[in-house]
Amino acid sequence: MTNKEISLTACPDIAYNQEMYYVDEKGAASHVTFNEFRMEGVEVFFASSRQEREVVMKDQRKIPSLNMYFSLKGSCGAVEEDKSKHIYLDDNEHVLGFTPYFNGHYELISREIRNFGICMEESFYRRFYSNEVECLQRFWEDAHTGRPAFISPRPMQATSRQLLVIRDMMQCVYSGQMKELFFESRIIELFLHQVEQAEGLKNTQPVKIKAHHIDRLHAARHLIQQHLFDPLTLQGISRQTGLNEFSLKKGFKELFGVTVFGYLHELKMNYARKMLLDTSCTVYEVAYTVGYTEPYNFSRAFKKHFGYLPGEVRRYR
């Protein structure tokens, strides 16, 4: 096994940017970029990789940890050495889990992969101990016996709010103690979003979608992203993706955890927030851009989605 490091730069003690060329025992190679931020009891990382075929990367962790993993693009997996435990994530899926230790390998399956993760030691994650929510009570009962535990029996679809928190962390402009405080607040927020989502899914059945429909549903989501400001209709999306309207509505909600137009609304709200942060546009101009003729209706929808008014966005950078 060869692991050739190309470059490594570091900010004092807490921030690392690493690029490496990794070759596994079978000769499969991966070009990996790894960005990491550390503070007491926490590692936050963003990793991307490119490989021509599946790559296996061995790893070992001896310290108990609470882990958030998000697959932003591509398919990957983590497998214990004895194959007793494994987890696989596809595009836009995430897990929240506890591991007493890890001795195994990661599988980089897709040709291009982007991941975001947070690994917490007990000194940090003990603040999350709670039995007020049923899924958390079960989760911590398993974790306190020293067994691996997951907040949900299966990977969950990443929501727009979760992805927004991740984007804010990846684009953080603070340094020093302010950066640590910012990351701490966002980790707590992301944890709450994951728990809320898991609690909502606890009585649902696993998604059962016809295999040939899955690609078409992903195509529908991509279509919405590319035509965000066009007058989209269920009939039009169905026609372009080869799904009937029933299969589109039902499958989209089951696969992505949100309705077709709920997803469109999330995209527009996130676009509006980005405009307010990155440009000097007025609230009226932003409202008009995302399809609202009345700023009041836009402001009400924005506050319902984010919890604060569009005019207050710059306070929440």
Domain membership of residue 317 (yes or no) is no
Which pLDDT band holds residue 223 (cuts at 50, 70, 90)? very high
Region 41-64 average pLDDT = 94
Which pLDDT band holds residue 80 (cuts at 50, 70, 90)? confident
Query: Do 93 and 187 fall within a single domain?
Result: yes
Q: Is the model more confident about 200 or about 39? A: 39
Query: Do 216 and 120 fall within a single domain?
Result: no
List pLDDT tens digits, range 165-185: 998 898 888 888 999 999 999
Query: Do 27 and 54 fall within a single domain?
Result: yes
- Calculate the average pLDDT of the chain: 87
Query: Do 25 and 171 fall within a single domain?
Result: yes
Model pLDDT, residue 307: 82
CA atoms within 13 A on the CB side of 285: 6
Q: How far apart are CA 23 and CA 4, in angstroms?
A: 8
> In terms of pTM, does the model score above 0.75?
no
Judge whether residue 146 has pLDDT over 70.
yes
Burial class (CB in 10 A: 0-12, 13-18, 19+), 302: buried
CATH code at 219? 1.10.10.60
Range with the poorest average pLDDT among 80-89, 92-101, 282-291: 80-89
* Nearest Cα to Cα of residue 212 among 242, 186, 232, 240: 242
Judge whether residue 73 has pLDDT over 80.
yes
DSSP output for 39-75: ETTEEEEEEEEEESS-EEEEEEE-S-EEEEEEEEES-
What is the number of other CB atoms lying within 10 angstroms of the CB of residue 124? 18
In a 3-state reduction of DSSP, which class is residue 293?
Answer: coil
Model pLDDT, residue 203: 65
8 A C-beta contact, residue 90 and residue 75: yes
| Cβ-Cβ contacts under 8 Å for 261 (sequence gap 6 or more) | none
Choose one of 138, 171, 201: the last residue of a domain.
201
Strand partners, 73: 114
Query: Do 233 and 259 fall within a single domain?
Result: yes
For the chain, the C-alpha Rg in angstroms (whole number) is 21
Query: Do 127 and 21 fall within a single domain?
Result: yes
Choose one of 183, 201, 219: the last residue of a domain.
201
Query: Do 120 and 45 fall within a single domain?
Result: yes
Judge whether residue 316 has pLDDT over 70.
no
Query: Do 9 and 116 fall within a single domain?
Result: yes
Burial class (CB in 10 A: 0-12, 13-18, 19+), 219: middle
Query: Do 193 and 276 fall within a single domain?
Result: no
* Owning domain of residue 145: 2-201
Query: Do 195 and 159 fall within a single domain?
Result: yes
Domain membership of residue 275 (yes or no) is yes
For the chain, the domain total comes to 2
CATH code at 91? 2.60.120.10
